[in-house]
Amino acid sequence: MQLYNNLSAKERAALIEQAGKDRLTISFYAYAKIGNPKIFRNDLFLAWNELDVLGRIYVAHEGINAQLSLPADQFEAFKAHLDSISFLENVRLNIAVEHDNFAFLKLKIKVRDKIVADGLNDDTFDVTDIGVHVDAERFNELIEDENTVLVDMRNHYESEIGHFKNAVTPDVDTFRESLDIIEEDLKDHKEDKNLVMYCTGGIRCEKASAYYKHKGFKNVFQLEGGIINYVRQIKEKGLENKFIGKNFVFDERRSERISDDVIAHCHQCGNPADLHTNCANDACHLLFIQCEECKKKMEACCSTTCMEVNRLPYEEQKEMRKGQGNSNDIFKKGRAGHLPFKQDLRNIFDSFETLKS
């Protein structure tokens, strides 16, 4: 019985080439209660390996998170297999618009503690008791309701370049932080307000909605499939777009323009800009917003210090980094005192108050 991938990436690429078939790239997730993730994982591997599925899939006691590709002509069989699993029956599948036959070259199904590293180590609540899913049309109605508080569940570097009109955008670096801030700020409105949430692809809101229901919020809603699915529906159904700016995405593109508005500012000169730069200094890699002019002038660095380090020969830079640990520990994403136009910490309650006034 083969339970693990046994072809190299190179061998696999050759096979895909040879088969000459179009592959679909699909992603999906579901929170569920899985008693024995190891057994579930092995069952999936046996069934999907048979269908020539490739991808990166995480399985945990709390559910499944999958990104995969498969030959287009195996789609029906794959769908039938998903439908045979009670919590995956009719699960929403995101099918990528752009084809890439070589998106994945191995089938890796891993058992993890969690399907998303969300920092929420609280297993006292039921992750499957989620809020109400709303589509783009209903979402547009809900966010016009004066009884609604619309919350962006993403991190500040994501919402800074684009978000829904009137959304509260907590100034946080992690999902875990925003959960507490929002709960605190809305503690007197657990029963009378609609708590409407959104994130990039919907997965963060699944967990957040279950968490808030557990904390006593009565009217919890989330945008199904997140901003990505919203934009698709807006285009397909000709609905009004209420998202301004760019959607931050987690691939090499970094962001996707949704409306023409440029809502952010260059962190170095303050001019309108909404393009993220990863500081070119390998010891820094700060993620910050930089306009084209500053990018040229600063050689894609966040500070003159980084610029000087980045000009040194590579070996010398390596020597300097010794014992400094991981660059991500040196700076937090998008936060550094030396960036004059990076907004200060805002209290979510201030923005909530502004909304009401």
What are the residues binding Zn ion (CB under 5 A)?
266, 268-269, 279, 281, 284, 286, 291, 294, 302, 306
Closer residue to Zn ion in complex, CB, 91/269: 269
Chain-centre distance for alpha carbon 337:
26
Nearer to Zn ion, 205 or 287 (CB): 287
Of residues 199, 294, 301, 306, which has the active-site annotation?
199
Q: Which residues are registered as beta bridge partners of 68?
A: 26, 55
CB nearer Zn ion, residue 44 or residue 294 = 294
Minimum distance from residue 321 beta carbon to Zn ion (Å): 13
Looking at the Cβ atoms of 5 and 278, the one nearer to Zn ion is 278
Task: Please report how close the Cβ of residue 273 comes to Zn ion at its closest, in angstroms.
Answer: 6
- Separation of alpha carbons 229 and 121, rounded Å: 28
Q: How far is the CB of 283 from Zn ion (least distance, A)?
A: 8
Query: Which letter does DSSP use for residue 335 in this model?
Result: B
Side-chain-side CA neighbours of 322 within 13 Å: the count stands at 6
d(CA 2, CA 299): 51
Residue 20's CB is within 10 A of a number of other CB atoms, namely 7
- Least Å distance between CB 148 and Zn ion? 36
Rounded Cα gap, residues 236 and 238, in angstroms = 6
Distance between CA 67 and CA 26 in Å, rounded?
Answer: 6
Among this protein's residues, is 291 annotated catalytic? no
The three-state secondary structure class of 274 is coil
Neighbours of 193 (CB within 10 A): 17
Q: What residues are labeled active site?
A: 199
